[in-house]
Structure 1
């Protein structure tokens, strides 16, 4: 399978309303979802109905703890389709992979796009583009696990290492050629974009005050690109919390960093609180 695409083509709309969630992965055993997940799904339904939401963006860790085995895996129904089954949520769900998805058959999640009314995961990284009353919005959907590596060795590590890998910063890409190819793709699309608003989404956070904290690979390599190309915001998950962090970019430009990783569980940790100055932390 190809690892990138422009999907869909530029879409003319009058407004752009989306919900961004992460870490929807539920449970690997019956009932395959969490109580918190059902409550969040209910809140999403209410919001989607009130605001006429057009699509959802899912920033990874779609299936805990080891992804799916194939495109027919029952987890697609039990953890995704059955939970987000209300009419208001029958909109496109544009998706990227998280570290737990890469522990399984991540290609099967791409293939599943053919079988679902709403699941949209055409490639491991891709671009969305919308025209809103003459305003152009570009969204780059990234595979940060490909860029930075995974957080644990699921084959050689023990169960505790897998379940508690949140304490591990990714140590580098498993395939440097694939990572380099994606970095070149990112730079090319950022350089070519003439969008009025430019958003980037991935699973790992650049900045975070919670259990995982900042992802050093992204701080070193992606964050400078956000500043250079005046990216409007970076959205992510991985930490099971909600955060809004703001840092200055070029001139008077501000970059917003949003963590939305509490779709099926929450984590009150502020382990890395010292990594973000208080004046830059707008919500936690």
Structure 2
């Protein structure tokens, strides 16, 4: 990021800190309708931490996503954040958008809507650029917002902007410059996110409730659990019978079961660069699966069944999990 861009970002941060964006602090969840039609089965892929101009096996993962996407006849793709490395996009005209997204995920099966959240690396660039409708004109598949809801016939997906929750990015930025425009004062913003998420979950009558964020609530990978989310987000998920939480951030694939509810935590952050051998304790009884290589995840949902599969860089199924829900007859 050049010196002019640095100064612009710092100026934006100072303006936000002095409250000159008072009308922008809002986390109201926009809703999008996704028609699945056909046999009433919802199918989608989940990938995170990918945008590296095809390097670190990003292109190979993309190729296998295309093959599996065709086999499953997916409806859309979910991106769990850190969409563009190392420092997000520089602006709406940054060629990294084409080089790391449009020109990589070229398979016919992947020409569906991509629902994306911001990761911490995205906040190191021009975060507003990724949210801009200009990118949707460049590639109609792209849809990235801070927090939003996707409603399908049998499931609702609640996308949550988790980066502003993490204190270290503010108190220990490690010489990185973050684009905090429209999210400062942070306490006000994160309170709004939680309040609007809780309201959306309360109103939901979906058969399946899925929450998507960049940061892990539970992880045995490099970053581990995110204490701020364990404290503030997890109680809301438990209270509103959320079934699945999906995230990226740790460059691995993993499944962990909650100890106090049926929630399953799925990490899919292996879209390009993986962290081999960078793992914490693997002996917990709640850990169901961990893989420190590249890959992605598929989700298949019906009214009564959920099936999750993890794939490696060669498209091989390396873990699968399923669960059933009782169907209640009308009285």
Which residue number in structure 1 is paired with residue 150 of structure 2? 128
Q: 1:115 deviation in Å?
A: 2.7
Alpha carbons of structure 1 residues 255 and 279: separation in structure 2 relative to 1, 3 Å: same
Unaligned runs of 5+ in 1: 27-31, 163-172
The Cα offsets for residues 194-242 of structure 1, whole Å up to 9 and x where unpaired, read as 2111000000000000110000001111111121111101000000000
* Equivalent residue pairs, number: 256
The Cα offsets for residues 52-81 of structure 1, whole Å up to 9 and x where unpaired, read as 111100010001111111111101000111
Q: Take 2:80 and 2:67, find their aligned partners in 1: how far apart are those partners?
A: 21
Q: 1:113 deviation in Å?
A: 2.6
Answering whether residue 174 of structure 2 is matched by residue 157 of structure 1, we say yes
Which residue number in structure 1 is paired with residue 296 of structure 2? none
Answering whether residue 236 of structure 2 is matched by residue 218 of structure 1, we say no
Alpha carbons of structure 1 residues 45 and 145: separation in structure 2 relative to 1, 3 Å: same
Answering whether residue 124 of structure 2 is matched by residue 103 of structure 1, we say yes
Which residue number in structure 2 is paired with residue 170 of structure 1? none
Native 8 Å contact 1:211 1:269 kept in 2: no
Unaligned runs of 5+ in 2: 1-23, 177-183, 291-331
Q: Take 1:228 and 1:249, find their aligned partners in 2: how far apart are those partners?
A: 11
Answering whether residue 119 of structure 2 is matched by residue 81 of structure 1, we say no
Native 8 Å contact 2:36 2:42 kept in 1: no
SS in 2 for 1:56: strand
Q: Take 1:88 and 1:12, find their aligned partners in 2: how far apart are those partners?
A: 15
CA RMSD of aligned residues (A): 2.2
Range that drifts further, 173-182 or 108-117: 173-182
Q: Take 2:194 and 2:51, find their aligned partners in 1: how far apart are those partners?
A: 27
Alignment of 1:156-235 (within 5 A): 157-158=174-175, 175-235=186-246
Answering whether residue 41 of structure 2 is matched by residue 15 of structure 1, we say yes
TM-score normalised over the length of structure 1: 0.83
Structure exhibiting the larger radius of gyration computed from Cα positions: 2
Native 8 Å contact 2:209 2:242 kept in 1: yes
